[in-house]
Structure 1
Amino acid sequence: MKQQRFRFKMLALLLFGLFALLAVYGVYSINTYGNRWFAYARNPRVREQKSTVTAGNIYDRNGVLLACTEDGKRVYQPDEASRRAVVHVIGDSEGQVSNGVEGFQTAYLYGFKASLMERFNDLFSGENRHGDDVHLTLDSELCTAITYHFSLNPLTKGKNGAAVVMNYKTGEVVAEVSLPSFDPMNKASVSAGSEVYWNRATQSLYPPGSTFKVVTTAAALENIPNVTTLNITCNGGLDVDGQAIRDYGNAVHKSLTLREAFMKSCNNIYALLALDMGDAALRKTAEGFGFNANFLFRDFVVENSAYPTTNRTNFELAMSGFGQSSIGATPMHLCLIASAIANDGVMMEPTLLRQATTPAGAVRDTFGPKVYRTALSPATAATLQQYMRAVVTGGTGSRASVDGLTICGKTGSAESSRNGRAVTHGLFIGYIDSEELPYAVCVVVEDIVDGEGGGSTAAPIAGEIFKYIRDHKESFTH
C-alpha cells in the first residue's frame, strides 16, 4: 500500500512538473512569438476582433499622425510622398506588407491588451470599442528626406534599395526605407504579387561586399598576433585554387598596414587575411556579430543573415574575406553591425515601439532599450572606430563627411546576380561619433552603374542623412 501511495505521489509530481514546464513554455512563446501570431493574416480571432474594434492610431516620435480610422476605413498621411516613405514600416490595411506595424502590433491596435474592466465598460457603453494608439521611434520626415535624396542623385535616381537609421545607444530605429514603394491609399495601380510590397530593409539578403571587412578586421585583430604592425603586400592579384581574385581596376596597392588596407579597401589583402585565419576563426567572429543567428526581435521580423558553414573551399574562404562568396545580410543587420562597433562592442536590440496608450490617453506600456548581444571586445571596437574614421577622412567614404560631425564608416561594392545578369550593389555603413547624436546608418543602392561603387552612390545618401540629423537635432535628442 505504501509503495502504491509512493507511486501516486511520484506520478502527481511528474504531472505537476509537466504542467509547470508547459506553463513556462507558454509564457515564453507568447513573449517571443506573440506579435507574429497576431500578425498572421488567417488568425480567426484577429479577424473577429477587427470586425468589432476600431483600430488605434499610429504616431511617429514627434507626434505626427501616420495612420488612423475614418468612417470605418484606414487612412494614412495626406501627403503621398510621406505615405510612400513609411509604407513598409507602417504596413497597409489589407496586410500586403506582411510585417508592418498594422499587422505586427495588432495586439495593441485592436484592443487585445485591454483589461477585463475596460472590456466590461465598453460592453455597456453602447459605443464601438477602440484599440490602443501606438507611438513609434520612427521619424517620418527623415524617411521622406531619404527617399528624396535617392531620387535627387543621378547615380541613385530610380534605383531600388534600402536605408536604416538607428540610435546605437538605445536601438531605436528612427528611419527605415525600402524602394520601390507604393501608395497605400491607391493600390489599384499596383500589380498583383508586385515586389513593391517587399521590405528590402528587413527581408532582403545582400552580399555585404567590402562592408564585411569590418568583420574580417575584427577577426584579424583577435586572431593574428601583432596584425596592426604587419606590412602585407598586394601585388594586384591573387590566385586561389586556380581562380583569380583582383582588386577594382586591377589596382596594385603594394605594401600596406591593416589600417591602410582597410582605408583603401584592398580585396587581395583581405582575402589573404581570411586564408591566414582560417574559416573557423572568421565564422566565429561573424557569428558573434549575429550571422547565422535566429533574429527574434520584439518589434521586427528580420531575415536571418547567413555565413556559410559547410563545404568551404579556399577560394570561397578568400572571397568571404571581403564579403562575397555566399554571405548575405539585410540592411537592418548591417546597421546593427555598425551600431555595435560605435557602441564599444555592444549590439542593442532594434526597436520601433516607444509607447502604447489607451483610447483615454493613459499609458498602457512604455518600452526601453535592451541589449541584444556583445559582438566584440571594447578594444577591438576602438581600433575599428579609428579605421572607420580614417575611411571617411582619407579613404573611400569621404562623401559621407559632414561639417560639424565626426563621421565614421565603411563603403562596399558587392557583386550579385539578378535574372541571370551580373549586377553590382553600392553600400555604406557608418555612424556619428557623438554622445548627443549617437546614430548609425546603412544604405544599400541596387544595380549601380558600372564603374561606380558604394563611395559614390550610398555614401552621399548617408551624408545627407547625417546632415538631416544635425540640422534637426531637437527631433533626435528626446
Structure 2
Amino acid sequence: MFFLDSKIFKKRICIIRVVFILIFVLLTLRIFIYQYINAKDLKTIAENQYQYKEKVSELNYLLLDCNGKDLLTYSNEYYAVIDPYSFKFNNYYTKKDELYALNVTLKNYNKEYNLDNIDFQKKSEKIKWIIDETTYNKLTKIKGIKGFYIYRYVKVDRENKWWSVENILTNSYKIDPKGQKIDKDKDSLEYMLKDKTANNKYVYSMLKKDVNGNVYKEHVTSSKDNIHIRTTLDKYLQDKIKEILNNEPHNSYEQIGVVLMESDTGKIRAMVQKDDMNPNVNLGISTNHGFFPGSIFKVIVEEAGLETGKISLNKKYRLNTNLSLRYKGHEREEVMDCGEALIQSSNDIYAQIGIDVGIKDIKNFSEKQGFTNKVLNLDEETHGFFEGNDKEAGDVELTSFGQKQRITPIEAISIPNTVINKGVYVKPYIIDSYVNQDNVTIEECNTVKSKVFSETTANILKNQMLEVVKSSRGTGKQAYLNDIIVGGKTGTAEREEGKNKFYDGWFAGFFTIDKKNYSMVVFVKNIGSDKGGGSTAAPIFKEIVQETKEYLNNF
C-alpha cells in the first residue's frame, strides 16, 4: 500500500513539475512577444498616450559639397492629422465656431476632407491628410481643438530635377518597367550610401499632449552622432554651369552634359546637364551604352599606335579618294602625319591609321582608361561598349574615328585627363568622405590611378591637343582663350534611331588655372547635320572656363 502511494505521489510531482515548466515557457514566450515582436506597436501606443510623433525629414543625412555646403534643394509638404479617439471624446466643450472653421478650411482645400462624413466610431488609426501651405497657415490660427494637429515635412525637391546627380545619389529606389518602385541594386553607389547611413536617426517632430488631447508643446529631435556624406562636387560650380547651359544662346539644344574634374585627383567638381527632367546624359542612363564619341576617340587610336610602335610621327599618309568619299572629314592638306590628321580631324587618314593599329590594341587602351565599365557605379549608369569586330571589313575604319563604339561623357573625360596626367589614368570619383555634423572627416575615399602609356606619348598628344585649339587649322579653335592654356579634341558623331539620323557634338579638353590642371567634357545632343563639335561643344567649353576662372583661381 505504501509502495503504491509512493508511486502515485511521484507521478503527481512529475505532473506538477511539467505544468510549472509549461507555465514558465508560456510566460517567457509572452514576454518575448511583447518585448521583441510587438515592441514597436506597443511603444507607439504608449507614446501616443502622451505625445504625437511625426517624421519631418526625408533623409537621415546631409549631402554636402566639397566645402561643406548643402548640395540639395528642398520642398515642403504639409499635413493635417486627426486622432479619432481624442477628437471624438474630448471636443465636447470645444467652441463650435472653431470646429466649424476647421471643417470649412479643410473642405475648401479638398471637398473629400469633410469631418461630417467620418464615422469616428470605426476609426482607430490616425487620419492624415496632405494640404498646401496656404491651408496650413490658416489652420495654425485655429486653436483649442483636441486630437488635431498639423506639421510640415521636408523632402528633397525632385520636381524638374529628378535626374540631377545630387538627386540620383539620394534616391535609393528606381522605377521598374511596370511603373513600380523597386530598390536599387545592392552593389550600387546609392545602396552603399544608404548602408553607410543606416544607423542615422531621422528628425522627428514630438508634440506633447495631455490626457484630453491638448497639444501644448512641440520640439524637433536631432542627432549629433549622424554620419553625413561629403561629395567632391562644388555647389558654386554646379550652379554656375547650370546657369550657363540654360542661357539663351543654347536654347536650341535639347540636352547638354558637362563633367568637370580635377585632373590629378579625379575629384569631380561639377556634373551638370541642361535638362534634369530627362535621364542623366553624363551617365548614359536609358541609352544603349552611351553615345558614339566621334573624333574625340582619335586620341585613343593615336596613343595606342604610338605606344605599340605601330605608327610614328614620321609616317606620312595620303588622302584616299575612296575613303574621303565615304568618311567626311575636315582635311585641308592631301598628305599628313598622325598629328596633323588629329589637328585637322581627318577621318580619311585616321581610317588608315586604324588599320595600322588594329582594333585589338585600340580596345585594349580604351579598357585601361575605363571605357567598358561603370565609372561611378551608380545603379542606372551605363558603360561603354565596343561594336567593332576586327574580322568585319570596314569596322576598324569606323572604330578609328569613333563610330563603332559607344561611351558616356563620364567615361570620355579620361581621354584628355590621361594625356594631361602624363599617361596615368585617374579614375573619376564623386564621394569625397563621410563626415560628422561639424564636417570633420570620419572616413575618406581615395584616388585610384594606373599607368596606361608613357610620358613621351602623353606629351606628343598634349601638344597636338593644344594645336587643335590654337592653330588656325584646328577644329577646336572656338575653345581658344588667350590668357589660359586650353587643349582638347572635337568630335561629331552620327547615330541612327530607327529611320532617323541624329548628330551629337563633343569637346573633350583640359585647361590650366593657377598651375592646376582641370579636365572637362562637353556633350551636346542632337546638334543637327550642319554643325559639329567644334561649333557647338567647343564654344560652351570656352564659356564655362571664362565664367569660372576667377573662382577656380581662388579655389
* Both structures adopt the same fold (TM-score exceeding 0.5): yes
Structure 1 alignment gaps of length 5 or more: 1-49, 115-125, 183-195
Q: Are 1:358 and 2:436 matched, yes or no? A: yes
TM-score (norm 2): 0.63
* Structure 1 residue matching 2:374: 3-state secondary structure: coil
**Aligned with residue 282 of structure 2, among 188, 193, 201:** 201
Q: Are 1:255 and 2:338 matched, yes or no? A: no
Give deviations 1:406-465, integer Å, cap 9, x for gaps: 111000000012343101100000001467331100111011032210011001111122
Q: Are 1:159 and 2:238 matched, yes or no? A: no
Aligned-residue offset at 1:158? 3.8
TM-score (norm 1): 0.72
Letter in 1 for 2:420: A
Q: Residues 361 and 378 from structure 1, CA distance in 2 versus in 1: closer, same or farther, beyond 3 angstroms? A: closer
Give deviations 1:46-99, integer Å, cap 9, x for gaps: xxxx9999511112123332238874432459xx9xx84982333365745969
Q: What is the alpha-carbon distance in structure 2 between the residues aligned to residue 298 and residue 446 of structure 1? A: 23
Q: What is the alpha-carbon distance in structure 2 between the residues aligned to residue 223 and residue 265 of structure 1? A: 22
C-alpha contact 2:67 2:234 (8 A) present in aligned 1 = yes
Aligned-residue offset at 1:154? 3.6
1:17 corresponds to: none
Letter in 2 for 1:209: G
* Structure 2 residue matching 1:263: 3-state secondary structure: helix
Q: Residues 52 and 248 from structure 1, CA distance in 2 versus in 1: closer, same or farther, beyond 3 angstroms? A: closer
Letter in 1 for 2:193: Q
Aligned-residue offset at 1:338? 1.6
Q: Are 1:346 and 2:415 matched, yes or no? A: no
Letter in 1 for 2:358: G
Q: What is the alpha-carbon distance in structure 1 between the residues aligned to residue 266 and residue 310 of structure 2? A: 33
Letter in 2 for 1:176: M
Aligned-residue offset at 1:375? 2.4
Q: Residues 245 and 408 from structure 1, CA distance in 2 versus in 1: closer, same or farther, beyond 3 angstroms? A: same
**Aligned with residue 270 of structure 1, among 339, 350, 359:** 350
Q: Are 1:384 and 2:469 matched, yes or no? A: no
C-alpha contact 1:413 1:454 (8 A) present in aligned 2 = yes
Structure having the higher helix fraction is 1
* Structure 1 residue matching 2:528: 3-state secondary structure: coil
Q: Are 1:461 and 2:540 matched, yes or no? A: yes
Q: Residues 224 and 468 from structure 1, CA distance in 2 versus in 1: closer, same or farther, beyond 3 angstroms? A: same
Letter in 2 for 1:220: G
C-alpha contact 2:475 2:490 (8 A) present in aligned 1 = yes
Q: Residues 323 and 51 from structure 1, CA distance in 2 versus in 1: closer, same or farther, beyond 3 angstroms? A: same
1:214 corresponds to: 299
**Aligned with residue 63 of structure 2, among 58, 64, 68:** 58
Q: What is the alpha-carbon distance in structure 2 between the residues aligned to residue 473 and residue 179 of structure 1? A: 22
Q: Residues 208 and 252 from structure 1, CA distance in 2 versus in 1: closer, same or farther, beyond 3 angstroms? A: same
C-alpha contact 2:172 2:191 (8 A) present in aligned 1 = no
Aligned-residue offset at 1:296? 6.2
Give deviations 1:270-302, integer Å, cap 9, x for gaps: 00011122222322222333333x336477874
1:73 corresponds to: 154
1:185 corresponds to: none
Q: Which has the higher contact order (CA 8 A, sep 6+)?
A: 1
Q: What is the alpha-carbon distance in structure 2 between the residues aligned to residue 64 and residue 138 of structure 1? A: 10
1:22 corresponds to: none
Q: Which protein is bigger by CA-based radius of gyration?
A: 2
Q: Residues 385 and 474 from structure 1, CA distance in 2 versus in 1: closer, same or farther, beyond 3 angstroms? A: closer
2:316 corresponds to: 231
Q: What is the alpha-carbon distance in structure 1 between the residues aligned to residue 424 and residue 446 of structure 2? A: 16
* Structure 2 residue matching 1:89: 3-state secondary structure: helix
Q: Are 1:111 and 2:111 matched, yes or no? A: no
Letter in 1 for 2:348: N
**Aligned with residue 374 of structure 2, among 251, 275, 295:** 295
Structure 2 alignment gaps of length 5 or more: 1-54, 77-151, 176-183, 203-219
Q: Residues 415 and 285 from structure 1, CA distance in 2 versus in 1: closer, same or farther, beyond 3 angstroms? A: same
- What is the total number of aligned residue pairs between the two structures? 391
Q: Residues 447 and 299 from structure 1, CA distance in 2 versus in 1: closer, same or farther, beyond 3 angstroms? A: closer
Aligned-residue offset at 1:362? 4.7
Letter in 2 for 1:445: V
Q: Residues 247 and 108 from structure 1, CA distance in 2 versus in 1: closer, same or farther, beyond 3 angstroms? A: same
Q: What is the alpha-carbon distance in structure 2 between the residues aligned to residue 333 and residue 54 of structure 1? A: 30
Aligned-residue offset at 1:360? 6.3
2:121 corresponds to: none
C-alpha contact 2:293 2:403 (8 A) present in aligned 1 = yes
Aligned-residue offset at 1:238? 1.3
1:321 corresponds to: 400
Alignment of 1:119-134 (within 5 A): 127=221, 131-134=226-229
Q: Residues 165 and 405 from structure 1, CA distance in 2 versus in 1: closer, same or farther, beyond 3 angstroms? A: same
Letter in 2 for 1:181: D
**Aligned with residue 509 of structure 2, among 420, 430, 434:** 430
Letter in 2 for 1:382: N
Letter in 2 for 1:59: L
Aligned-residue offset at 1:255? 0.8
C-alpha contact 1:342 1:433 (8 A) present in aligned 2 = no
Q: What is the alpha-carbon distance in structure 1 between the residues aligned to residue 254 and residue 377 of structure 2? A: 31
Q: What is the alpha-carbon distance in structure 2 between the residues aligned to residue 224 and residue 156 of structure 1? A: 46
Q: Residues 236 and 177 from structure 1, CA distance in 2 versus in 1: closer, same or farther, beyond 3 angstroms? A: farther
Give deviations 1:11-44, integer Å, cap 9, x for gaps: xxxxxxxxxxxxxxxxxxxxxxxxxxxxxxxxxx
Q: What is the alpha-carbon distance in structure 2 between the residues aligned to residue 111 and residue 320 of structure 1? A: 49
C-alpha contact 2:513 2:552 (8 A) present in aligned 1 = no
2:7 corresponds to: none
* Structure 2 residue matching 1:171: 3-state secondary structure: coil
Aligned-residue offset at 1:405? 1.2
Letter in 2 for 1:279: I
Q: What is the alpha-carbon distance in structure 2 between the residues aligned to residue 280 and residue 133 of structure 1? A: 44
Q: Residues 86 and 308 from structure 1, CA distance in 2 versus in 1: closer, same or farther, beyond 3 angstroms? A: closer
**Aligned with residue 334 of structure 1, among 403, 406, 412:** 412
Percent identical residues:
23
Q: What is the alpha-carbon distance in structure 2 between the residues aligned to residue 246 and residue 226 of structure 1? A: 21
